[in-house]
Structure 1
């Protein structure tokens, strides 16, 4: 019965030992070795490996040349050679055999030159565009990092600032399951790929939602961590092992973990290690040592790992220094990468993370694994020739210093391979297309009850909004497209009536009888629920909102999200995600509730939000409003629905809601246009010389 039976027996034995009071290890860390066996059945197609290597040579060269040429032309313009150099084999295997045309890919931001280079080789980008890397102001250039607002037909997602991509990727995969549960679009074998660096994992957002992904069984999600062990200033974990640390976090959260640490050339040596001495030696070393080995060369590798121990020396007695230096890390071995990706896409039930050990600046000669690798922007003639030779780049000696952009001949085997693989996998990636449905929206007259005076009855704008939202979810044209998103504040805002009415999305339904089941507004979870109740996570709820707000492009099905949150815990908590929403061309409503002076007893001055509106006003794509009366709210929301979902403008709305109760007057005749513009005649002053 293989591995599953062995795993079952070990778990049973561990549980028995713990029941007897034995202090066992947590069992979340595996040895510092590859997860998958060398004889795994999923192997890189041999008949395509050579031509794929040749394609990669073009891509690698162009990625390096793009950054180097840009900095020769404009000194200090920036860009990163080393980041893509450590990622290149991983991406190439993905592009050639695994990234399907409808997959969603969060590319690691600093590796963008390699993605542009691949698109150039595939014929999607031109020499002119590559010659204007980081020069997009006048149009036609290439943005520094993934940026759908600047390149709306190319990039799917913005992934800089670091840490945002992993968080948004998890909620994107979850939103796909939500769409399927509600009958809008099947997930099928579509995947969300999230590429992140090991240093990026220190950003709190990057790992914040791991448990959500596991407990909701997001097997449509694959994380790929490029563990090159190097940050800008130095090692990610000089005195420890980042791969082992991340394995513990992911496995502890319930993920399937695949580690790819050693390349194929290590297999025979590890097989000889029948006593486990080499594995123990490697497990005892820290990342700072591995970085020093890579920077200092093969003689140092021999000395540091094998010398001084007769048994270890016997394992490599037939290996020259050149042989040892070809024993690379797993993330640079297409054979290991292919096997890992093949296993990942087939895994069912939980999300998968693949932890690849790589080398920062791989192939850059002098910059490889150095402390300053991240900041290298150019290469001299000697380094260029070495780079060319290592990767079999088809350039003569007298051509390399000109840094030409190169691509295979249209009739070459490489061009045929690229064309064939895309025919098998589908559309080129990255690629972003919008389906702008012109949805019929309610007229302002449909909210007539909000346009008249409340007379002596006092209400808040929050109460008025809840009534409007309740009306919208019942609308025959757009009701099922409304996505209410709440970060555990529904009862604060008086929205709990929606629990029973439209249900809270829970992929497994409600497996318990809630304590308030006999109440009118009971807490109802449902596998087809409409509300996304995110809990106490403003960042997670915002990422959830972004997934819904970009559904028109990423899933070709327009959804209308209303994220209602305590305004004081809004922009200063998740400001970077708001900019990412704008970069993503999001459409939807952010409802900043309990804005202005709070009336909740005991909340204190820190809850008296006066700056959220100002912060919203700084984002170019936000339409920010601070309505006082229910008719203003009705005009603004109805106009927003029309602008975003009928006229298809690339904007989104931030609207404040107050919880103070007071009487609301009738809307002055003809005030609609002024409300939309931000100022209107509320009442005329009496007498002469009065000033507003």
Structure 2
């Protein structure tokens, strides 16, 4: 190997001289064919971004954007994965900034028409980031919110296993995440990685595009070894593809181990600086005698790595690259390092036999751009546990901007784009020209498309969800307890529907009143596990884990809860089997989970999120667990209907209505805000007449109903949730003072707000609920009351433009008795009466 001379254009130029190119495998995995496809993917992804920014008219001058460098970084990884490894059962989450690469690949596979290639970031065109619901290009997962798309395949794997265990037909494919190394800064990643169930998901594979650059800089101390150790400690298989075949062959020469140690010892910025050097300066820096002058060669080729992991373990000789285990050493983080004494002489002697073109190519030859090395890594995946592959790459690989610290959003100039076209064999005048018809690359694309083509799934019906169980709760109860009772009744009255319910919680099953439900349906596990407390007479919560269980318990991480909830809510569209997922967590922590929950809805995951207990009605538990802003979430969250019922019967009706909207193409998620405050159920005054009862149910599901009407109202009290007790008491006291009060029980302010917009011609929401509950002839000054921020209900005064006073919580909560806490926040009966008197004075 010592006599080999490598061409400088390797591995990016498919026209490399066969006499000087390394030996390549033959057959369908022919690397020459893959390189030609790789080149076309690089060109298409780069040209799409260029067209969006420089060709398409932009009369407003607003920045269009796009990420040519981030896309180029992962082209080799995605080419090798799609055109050599994926199966039709596999699913892939693509890092947000690589959406043009996904579009380019799907175009080559015949899944995306050429006409869309000019619509990147255009209204109705290709989305900025992959989207399951908005993109004309098929995507397995929506990405765009850093860390959330990366973890989605973990929850997709768990959802697939659940469907397979309960209904079958979900297959057994791998779940891949392609993510940038910066995404590992996100806590959401580590919360998911550390959940105990994840270590059993052998179908999960993460491939980290390890280019060690952020938006603004080369990150100086992003150590691969530290990250590898964290994954390994969580039970993951860790593979590293650091150097490509060119560098490995240099390392195999006499003195090569000294060169390897020299590169391994560099900090990220020092190594990356080598990519911007001309031949003379590059040699000087490697030897350790560089002067620090620029020496940059315009349009230089590609790549760079930090060199943090030494690569002393796991090497597989002759694979065209290197797949290592979890070990290796960590370099220093400092600036310029230098060879000393005999080491410098050894490196100089080694480089003396290497021509400029070979050295230029070799210093960029990282494993994440070596198709053979990547193939070897994919073949080494252990499907008995999750796997992470650290693929060292160069941001901007193959572009004139490669390796520059500020290339994140940079665009090639017109001259640079033309030079790229020459490099990859494309025609800048016909940027979307297809691969040569009948050529090996075109045939391989067609074969790959056939291999990856999926059979369309017919969506099964979840069954008819009952609208009303026909019973009327009595005594004192809480809406939180009514949740478990409603689920029990569902399994009895509609067992087919009940079988599709799956509940999820982050270690709060018993404290959110799911204990009885859990005892009935069991806990989901991929295999049956012995319950060592099943013979303990004092055990109340029976933890029976088996594949038929319908409850999934996660660790205390709300982000994981809603991530899984979104994927369970998407099974109808992935495998044709609708689930009715209900996630339960403490209401104050809805805000912690809000972004991934919202993103799951955006991605098409239909589910019900239950926040309980809520508000300051917790009383003695104090401010740390008292939610204030969450009622607004029920109004503001797109794709979701928010409910806060006051009575058990309202909870039943609203929950059943929410379940009926899940698992279907026109489905919708829901958020239920529940309370632990006991409420006298007779206050609901549920009509005995069947027709009147049905009207009450329809109104409750639509957002509100009149719980009390006065013959001559002077004021209206509109209350929601647990404070309905105080609202009714205030109406009684006002009546004793000769002031008649209508009392409206609100269940969903969001639906009422949509009705108001619909009445004004903004949207198509039905408006009948406004005329039914707030008729103009009964318009009076209004007092609104909510155990949350008062602005939640303030819009109600605008229905008829009446004066209003809005009571609620605007400060952090306090510990104390319910009377003390309500008095402190102005939710008590006295405060409501006083507000009513002020309005009618």
Same fold (TM over 0.5): yes
In the other structure, the counterpart of 1:459 is 477
Post-superposition CA distance 1:290-334 (Å, at most 9, x none): 111112244444223345522223333321121111111111111
- 1:536 and 2:556 aligned: yes
Q: Which stretch shows the higher mean deviation, 351-360 or 199-208?
A: 199-208
Of 106, 117, 124, the residue aligned with 1:130 is 117
After TM superposition, the structure 1 = structure 2 runs for residues 491-506 of structure 1, keeping only pairs within 5 Å, are: 491-506=510-525
Q: Secondary structure at the match of 1:229?
A: coil
2-structure distance, mates of 1:103, 1:213 = 23
Which residue of structure 1 aligns with residue 426 of structure 2? 394
CA distance in 1 between counterparts of 2:167 and 2:106 reads 34
Deviations 1:378-433, CA, capped at 9 Å, x for gaps: 4221x123322333x232xxxx2x573222244443322211123234349xxxx6
Per the alignment, do residues 499 and 643 of structure 1 end up closer, same or farther by CA in structure 2, a change over 3 Å counting? closer
Change (3 A) 1:485 1:222: same
1:442 equivalent in structure 2: 465
1:291 maps to 2:293: no
Q: Does 1:590 pair with 2:609? A: yes
2:349 to 294, 314, 327: 314
Q: d(CA) in 2 for partners of 1:561 and 1:607?
A: 25
User: Structure 1 pair 635/215, CA: closer, same or farther in 2 (3 Å)?
Assistant: closer
- TM-score, scaled to structure 1: 0.85
Per-residue displacement from partner, 1:57-115 (whole Å, max 9, x unpaired)? 32221211111111123352111111110100110111101122221110001000111
User: 1:595 and 1:587 mapped to 2: Cα distance?
Assistant: 23
Query: CA–CA distance in 2 between the matches of 1:650 and 1:312?
Result: 65
Q: Which of residues 628, 632, 635 in structure 1 aligns to 2:646?
A: 628
Matched, 1:641 2:659: yes
The structure 2 residue matched to 1:242, chosen from 219, 223, 231, is 223
Residue 50, structure 1, aligned to residue 25, structure 2: no
Aligned-pair CA distance for 1:337 = 1.1
**Bigger relative contact order (CA 8 A; separation at least 6):** 1
Partner of 2:96: 109
The answer to whether structure 1 residue 375 and structure 2 residue 409 are counterparts is yes
Cα separation, partners in 2 of 1:341 and 1:93, compared to 1, 3 Å: same
Tell me how far apart the structure 2 counterparts of residues 625 and 388 of structure 1 sit (CA, whole Å).
Answer: 56
Cα distance in 2 for residues equivalent to 1:688 and 1:530: 49
Conserved? CA contact 1:473–1:482, under 8 Å: no
- The 1-side partners of 2:655 and 2:706 are apart by 20
**TM-superposition CA deviations, 1:136-165 (whole Å, max 9, x none):** 2xx3x1111112221277222221111112
- Residue in 2 that maps onto 1:422: 449
- The answer to which of 480-489 and 604-613 deviates more is 604-613
Distance 2:157 2:287 in 1: 45
Using the TM superposition, give the Cα deviation of residue 261 of structure 1 relative to its aligned residue in structure 2, in angstroms: 0.8
Number of the residue aligned with 1:476: 495
Whether the 8 Å contact between 1:90 and 1:332 is mirrored in structure 2 is yes
| 1:142 equivalent in alignment to 2:135 | no
Question: What SS class does the counterpart of residue 675 from structure 2 fall into?
Answer: coil
Structure 2 match to 1:325: 360
CA separation in 2, counterparts of 1:44 and 1:502?
54
Contact map agreement 1:438 1:648 (CA 8 A) in 2: no
Residue-by-residue CA offset, 1:438-463 (whole Å, 9 max, x unaligned): 32223224x222xx251xx1100111
d(CA) in 2 for partners of 1:197 and 1:176? 25
Aligned match of 1:86 in 57, 60, 73? 73
Structure 1 position 50, deviation (Å): 2.2
Q: Which residue does 1:607 correspond to in 2?
A: 625
Q: Does 1:562 align with 2:582?
A: yes
Deviation digits for residues 322-367 of structure 1, max 9, x if unmatched? Answer: 11111111111111111111222xx1321111111111111111x1
> Which residue of 2 is the match for residue 671 of structure 1?
696
Give the direction of change, closer, same or farther, for the CA distance of 1:303–1:515 in structure 2 (3 Å limit).
Answer: farther
Aligned equivalents of 2:490, 2:481: Cα separation in 1:
14
2:178 pairs, out of 181, 191, 195, with 195
8 Å Cα contact 2:279-2:356 kept in structure 1: yes
Q: Is the 8 A contact 2:228 2:238 kept in 1?
A: yes
Deviation digits for residues 516-567 of structure 1 (CA, Å, limit 9, x no counterpart): 8323523414132321111211001111111111111123211110101111
Greater alpha carbon shift after TM alignment, 504-513 vs 215-224: 504-513
Q: Is the 8 A contact 2:580 2:662 kept in 1?
A: no
Q: How far has the Cα of 1:600 moved from its partner?
A: 5.3
How far residue 47 of structure 1 moved from its aligned partner, in angstroms, is 6.3
Question: Who wins on radius of gyration, i.e. which is larger?
Answer: 2
Alpha-carbon separation, structure 1, partners of 2:553 and 2:665: 27
Alignment of 1:408 with 2:428, yes or no, is no
Which residue in 2 is equivalent to 1:10? none
The partner residue of 1:266 within 241, 247, 250 is 247
8 Å CA contact retained: 2:512, 2:612: yes
Distance, in Å, in 2 between the alignment partners of 1:516 and 1:166 is 42
Q: Mind listing any 5+ residue stretches in structure 1 that lack a counterpart?
A: 1-41
The more displaced of 415-424 and 206-215 is: 206-215
**In 1, Cα distance between equivalents of 2:570 and 2:164:** 16
| Structure 2: distance between partners of 1:134 and 1:153 | 13
Aligned 8 A contact 2:199 2:235 in 1? no
Is 2:504–2:552's contact at 8 Å kept on the other side of the alignment?
Answer: yes
- Tell me what 1:650 maps to: 667
Q: Which moved more, 1:96-105 or 1:208-217?
A: 208-217
C-alpha displacement of 1:123: 2.7
Q: How many angstroms does 1:648 deviate by?
A: 4.3
Does the CA-based 8 Å contact 1:567-1:656 persist in structure 2? Answer: yes
In structure 1, what is the equivalent of residue 386 of structure 2?
A: 351
Q: Secondary structure at the match of 2:432?
A: coil
Q: TM-score, normalised by structure 2?
A: 0.70
Q: Is the 8 A contact 1:172 1:192 kept in 2?
A: yes
Q: Report what 1:362 is aligned to.
A: 397
Query: For 2:406 and 2:155, how far apart are their aligned partners in 1?
Result: 34
Q: Which of 547, 566, 573 is the matching residue for 1:553?
A: 573
Deviates more, 1:323-332 or 1:647-656: 647-656
Contact 1:227 1:242 in 2 (8 A): no
CA contact (8 A) 1:214 1:253 kept: no
Aligned position for 2:592: 573
2-side partners of 1:688 and 1:426: how far apart?
A: 66
Change (3 A) 1:226 1:43: farther
Instruction: Determine the C-alpha separation between the residues in 2 that align with 1:273 and 1:244.
Output: 27
For structure 2, the 5+ residue unaligned runs are 1-23, 289-338, 717-741, 743-841
Deviation digits for residues 13-42 of structure 1 (CA, Å, limit 9, x no counterpart): xxxxxxxxxxxxxxxxxxxxxxxxxxxxx9
